[in-house]
Structure 1
Amino acid sequence: MSLLAEQHAYTFLEARARTQHVNPLSWQFELSIADAYDIAKASDTIRAAEGEVRIGRKLGFTNRKLWTKYGEKAAIREPIWSSLFDSTVRYVEDNHAYQSLTGALQPRIEPEVVFKLGRTPAADACIEELADCLEWMAHGIEIVVSPYPDWKFEAADAIAALGLHGTLLIGEPRILSSASRLHLAELLANASVSLSCDGTLLSAGYGSNVLDSPLHAIWHLHGLLQKQPQFSPLQAGEIITTGTWTDAYPVQAGQTWGTAFSGIPLPGLSVSFA
């Protein structure tokens, strides 16, 4: 696979650039999770060589309530991750954004919580030590996309296709105090978010859906990276988005979507799509 990883990486990057569908690689041969991360590594290398700057990571499939909804041969029951680059991340002013869907294949919306690492965690950091490395948290809305027709794929296919990441919109960061870090996992687990479209409530989700807490999601990623020496471990300065609290809903131009939190001091966001 290592000899083919770069070729497959170019296929996905070209499909993204041209807004083209592709068939899942798992339809063509046995694609393992390790194979998929080889393709992801090749994609990262190509993007960096073309001038993009890697600024963090995104986690996917951290919401256990959604695991049975994805995967054709087998339900997706493990989180995945991919790199975040500066070209697809932007900060939202005044809690409202206008977002073009041009070039977005089958876009869907996901309300999430985003963190920035202020310090590099030790390789053997416990979850409390990891929390103490966080500088801030913010509300994020991720627009996920799929080059695969009808969103049908396996976990390895999702990894290979740039983690299905489209765009990440980040709201106002809130600095985390020592006291808030101490109880962060519990605070997030007990919080909830609502998701509305054009004023109609569509869904509500809880922080506990995300591997019991978004903090646990970061800890999962930290542990996984210790087993993937081809990738750098978590570093100070990285932005990490931890996965959706609700189902991922299709979005269309002309719609305005909004979120509101309960239980954590984060403002909601609204996004108008064009």
Structure 2
Amino acid sequence: MSTKANRYAHQLLDARACAKLMPLLSNADVLSPMDGYDIGKRILDASIGQGATPVGRKLGFSNRTIWKKYGVTKAIDEPFWAHVFDTTVRYAEDNRGIQSLDGALQPRIEPEVVFSLGTTPSPDAGIEELADCIEWMAHAFEIAVCPFPDWKFDAVDAIAAFGLHGTLIIGEPHVLSSATRRNLASMLANASVSLSCCTEDSVTLCGAGFGSDVLDSPVHALWHLHQQLNAQSQFAPLQAGEIITTGTWTDAYPVQAGQTWVTAFSGIALPGLTVSFV
């Protein structure tokens, strides 16, 4: 797989750099999800070689409500992860931002919750210990991108293609008290978010979702990622200082220049985000 992984990694890097679509990897070869991570490791090494610094991870397909909507040969019914980099993460001052879509292949927007780890979890950390490792949380938009036509792919394709990660736009971080961390999993599970698109002519409610859709809670999604990494020795485990975006609360919706997207939360004191695309 080594030679193939290098070739596929080069093709994916080239597609991103040139903003061009490419055929599915799974159409050309029989590939497993672990092959996708092998390709992802080549992309990680190449990205670091080009000057990017990994600053955390993103979870994809942690929302069970969207599993049946994606997958060419079978539904994608398992979360996956990929790295995020200093070159792909932005912070929205006062929870408002402007984002260029130049070079973004078939961009879609996903409302998510991000955690920053203040301490490194132990290898056998459970839900409560992981929650206690969280220093702050924030609301974020992940702008997902896809190099495969019509957003059609299998799991291995999505894993290999940067986990479909484009840009992560993070709102105001909220430092967590010890009491909040103890109750964070249930607080987020019982919260909901709405996602609306605004143009010059209209405001449209596009989607809504619950924290419980994200593997029962974004904190549980973090635990799932921790478990995955324990089984993947080629990658570093979670470390203090990393940011983790835990997956979308709604489906991913296409975005285009001229639109402004807005979120609002219920059930938790987390401000929404407003991002305009140019």
Flag whether TM exceeds 0.5 (same fold): yes
Task: State the match for 2:66 in structure 1.
Answer: 66
Task: State the match for 2:57 in structure 1.
Answer: 57
Q: Secondary structure at the match of 1:87?
A: coil
Task: State the match for 2:147 in structure 1.
Answer: 147
Cα shift at 1:174: 0.2
Q: Does 156-165 or 1-10 show the bigger shift?
A: 1-10
Output the CA distance in 2 between the equivalents of 1:10 and 1:44: 11
Q: Which amino acid aligns with 2:8?
A: H
Task: State the match for 1:122 in structure 2.
Answer: 122
Task: State the match for 1:5 in structure 2.
Answer: 5
Q: Which amino acid aligns with 1:237?
A: G
Which of 235, 241, 245 pairs up with 1:241? 245
Which of 264, 269, 273 pairs up with 1:265? 269
Q: Secondary structure at the match of 1:8?
A: helix
Cα shift at 1:4: 2.0
Q: Which amino acid aligns with 1:217?
A: A
Task: State the match for 2:157 in structure 1.
Answer: 157
1:183-241 alpha-carbon deviations (Å, 9 max, x no partner): 11100000000000013212111000000000000000000101100000000000000
- Is 1:87–2:91 an aligned residue pair? no
- Is 1:184–2:184 an aligned residue pair? yes
- Is 1:228–2:232 an aligned residue pair? yes
Output the CA distance in 1 between the equivalents of 2:149 and 2:7: 21
Output the CA distance in 2 between the equivalents of 1:244 and 1:187: 17
The within-5 A match list for 1:203-222 is 203-222=207-226
Output the CA distance in 2 between the equivalents of 1:3 and 1:12: 14
Cα shift at 1:10: 1.3
Cα shift at 1:3: 2.5
Task: State the match for 1:137 in structure 2.
Answer: 137
TM-score (norm 1): 0.99
Output the CA distance in 2 between the equivalents of 1:128 and 1:45: 33
Task: State the match for 1:19 in structure 2.
Answer: 19
Output the CA distance in 1 between the equivalents of 2:232 and 2:133: 21
Q: Deviating runs (4+, > 4 A) in structure 1?
A: none
Aligned pairs, number: 274
Q: Which amino acid aligns with 2:13?
A: L
Unaligned residue ranges in structure 1 (runs of 5+) = none
Cα shift at 1:5: 1.3
Aligned-residue CA RMSD in angstroms? 0.6
Q: Which amino acid aligns with 1:253?
A: A
